[in-house]
Structure 1
Amino acid sequence: MTDPHAPIRSGIPEHGRVPKYYAVKTRLEAVLDELGEGGLLPTERELAATFEVARETVRQALRELLIQGRVRRKGRGTVVAGPKLEQPLSLASYTEGVRRQGRVPSRHLITLERLAADPVLARELRIAAGDEVWHMERVLLADEERVGLESTYLSVARLPHLERDFAPDSSFYVYLRDKAGLELMSADERIETVLATPREALLIGTPPALPMLLLHRTSRDGGGVPVERVRSLYRGDRFSFTTQMSKK
């Protein structure tokens, strides 16, 4: 009978030849556990000397740990990362999801502008092509750490006073409910993995090669009329998504 704790289940291939970077990564994971969240790792040069490997081997191991969210860059060093933020796939806002985990959500406004809707956007919002829409782009933060970038499109005719009445660093869903009288009741959402563009990577503060989770959402009110189309980009090393399922 196969031992469930056999090395193959830890990522070691059947032929038993373990790549050097993977062996270093495994040893580094033990170091991370000892250091704990926020602990500063030794430099690449020091790690290479400790493990008796080339610096590029250490660099590759650290790259994988970075992608997995086990470590993060801080200044010119590398520290042990905390657990990933778990965001529910629901109509709850980003604010609610982050607060439930004891973190402080905030946002930084990049853009709030009026645009003419192209045919695709107009169809998704059920407005005429050329009608004005709001485009609001905000960097998402948790405990002042940049973790995502959100672009929201809305009909200007439906929310004519958005620029005047909405505080861009606050929850947009609370604004919709409390000030605009709109309750989001359903949504279509699609998730895919992408790489950030150079501009997006700069705004979020990540390397361009870091995988991102991209969410496309169209939300509707109780009458089934679309209210928003949202494109949300989340850091793959800092976020995971959860949902509840049941068999009816």
Structure 2
Amino acid sequence: MEFPYGQDPGAPVRSGIPEHGRIPKYYAAKVDLAALLEELGEGGVLPTERELAQRFEVSRETLRQALRELILEGRLRRAGRGTVVAGPKMAQPLSLASYTEGVRDQGREPGRHLVSLDRFRCPPALAADLGLAEGDAVWHMERVLLADDERVGLESTYVAVERVPDLATDFPPDSSFYAYLRRHLGIDFGDADERLETVLATPREALLIGTPGALPMLLIHRLSRDTAGRPLERVRSLYRGDRFSFTTHLGGGGAGG
């Protein structure tokens, strides 16, 4: 199959040029910048805004709009007082594999930093999700997600105290929760329901993850069950949109259209 205008199948048709053919100045500058990023390679330092504006014959404000879009897309990142070419996004599978496994598959070292571990009485909505009675004891564990010591996300886990009574004393919070359940408690995951959406981080979340408040985030809600079908955990995972993409495998013989 030939793709329109010779484009790679993953690229926008006609590189995003409107059908009327009039290209916004910022977008033309963005295309020129993208070509420069290819030349510089990962970690390459961009020239100053003044130099780039002169090079591409655009105003500083037009250039800044192009730079902002490339930063939001994860192709550039701020480093000190400069801007450098970012590495590729991490592709996290939408599966029962843990965050640890997904990041290691990308050749990076996963980690977590504990923000809080609290015990509280379960409210009605959460009780319904976890198959508990209202007021039953529940753990809430909040952790910053790391990849090679870079803050890339924020995870909130809710689990019944009766399922993991010694979480506060026996679980190393910088390790995989799934591995802990499997190795120490003999609990295996059976299936899960997930919902994926895009959101903006709250000011608190942006501060914990270390991102601008305007950066789009990928939010996953997950309700997991064990192999007996019993609800196990409710998880809210927030990932940086400029550092992550998600993949899944689709099977079956249904006709598309």
Same fold (TM over 0.5): yes
Find the aligned partners of 1:165 and 1:171 in 2 and give their Cα distance. Answer: 13
Query: Residue in 2 aligned with 1:142?
Result: 147
Query: Residue in 2 aligned with 1:79?
Result: 84
- RMSD between aligned residues: 1.6
Which of 178, 181, 185 pairs up with 1:176?
A: 181
What TM-score, normalized by structure 2, do the two folds share?
Answer: 0.93
- Which amino acid in the other structure matches residue 202 of structure 2? T
Which of 107, 110, 113 pairs up with 1:108?
A: 113
Report the CA distance between 1:121 and its aligned residue.
Answer: 0.5
Query: Residue in 2 aligned with 1:153?
Result: 158
Find the aligned partners of 1:193 and 1:247 in 2 and give their Cα distance. Answer: 28
* Contact 1:69–1:236 (CA under 8 A) maintained in structure 2: yes
Find the aligned partners of 1:3 and 1:234 in 2 and give their Cα distance. Answer: 32
Query: Residue in 1 aligned with 2:193?
Result: 188
Report the CA distance between 1:8 and its aligned residue.
Answer: 6.0
Relative distance call for 1:72 and 1:126 in structure 2 (3 A) is same
How many percent of aligned residue pairs carry the same amino acid?
70
Report the CA distance between 1:156 and its aligned residue.
Answer: 0.8
- Which amino acid in the other structure matches residue 159 of structure 1? V
Find the aligned partners of 2:220 and 2:81 in 1 and give their Cα distance. Answer: 31
Query: Residue in 2 aligned with 1:46?
Result: 51
Report the CA distance between 1:46 and its aligned residue.
Answer: 2.1
Find the aligned partners of 1:15 and 1:110 in 2 and give their Cα distance. Answer: 51
Report the CA distance between 1:4 and its aligned residue.
Answer: 2.3
- Matching of residue 132 in structure 1 with residue 132 in structure 2: no
Query: Residue in 2 aligned with 1:5?
Result: 6
Find the aligned partners of 2:50 and 2:124 in 1 and give their Cα distance. Answer: 54
Query: Residue in 1 aligned with 2:218?
Result: 213
Name the SS of the counterpart of 2:151 in structure 1: strand
- Which amino acid in the other structure matches residue 45 of structure 2? L
Find the aligned partners of 2:151 and 2:82 in 1 and give their Cα distance. Answer: 17
* Contact 2:4–2:13 (CA under 8 A) maintained in structure 1: no
Count of residues paired in the alignment: 248
Relative distance call for 1:3 and 1:125 in structure 2 (3 A) is closer
Find the aligned partners of 1:49 and 1:4 in 2 and give their Cα distance. Answer: 30
Q: What are structure 1's unaligned runs of at least 5 residues?
A: none
Name the SS of the counterpart of 1:38 in structure 2: coil
Report the CA distance between 1:52 and its aligned residue.
Answer: 2.2
Find the aligned partners of 2:79 and 2:89 in 1 and give their Cα distance. Answer: 17
Name the SS of the counterpart of 1:220 in structure 2: strand
- Matching of residue 163 in structure 1 with residue 168 in structure 2: yes
Name the SS of the counterpart of 1:4 in structure 2: helix
* Contact 2:152–2:243 (CA under 8 A) maintained in structure 1: yes
Relative distance call for 1:156 and 1:8 in structure 2 (3 A) is closer
Name the SS of the counterpart of 2:95 in structure 1: coil
Find the aligned partners of 1:3 and 1:154 in 2 and give their Cα distance. Answer: 49
Find the aligned partners of 1:45 and 1:136 in 2 and give their Cα distance. Answer: 46
Name the SS of the counterpart of 2:34 in structure 1: helix
1:109-130, CA deviations, whole angstroms, 9 ceiling, x for partnerless residues?
Answer: 1011112111101100011111
Which of 223, 226, 234 pairs up with 1:229?
A: 234
- Which amino acid in the other structure matches residue 6 of structure 2? H
Q: What are structure 2's unaligned runs of at least 5 residues?
A: none
Find the aligned partners of 2:180 and 2:4 in 1 and give their Cα distance. Answer: 55
**Stretch of structure 1 that moved more, 232-241 or 45-54:** 45-54
1:39-89, CA deviations, whole angstroms, 9 ceiling, x for partnerless residues?
Answer: 111122221222222211111101111121111121222111111101111
Which of 3, 21, 25 pairs up with 2:30?
A: 25
What TM-score, normalized by structure 1, do the two folds share?
Answer: 0.96
Instruction: Point out 4+ residue stretches in structure 1 off by more than 4 angstroms.
Output: none
Report the CA distance between 1:140 and its aligned residue.
Answer: 0.5
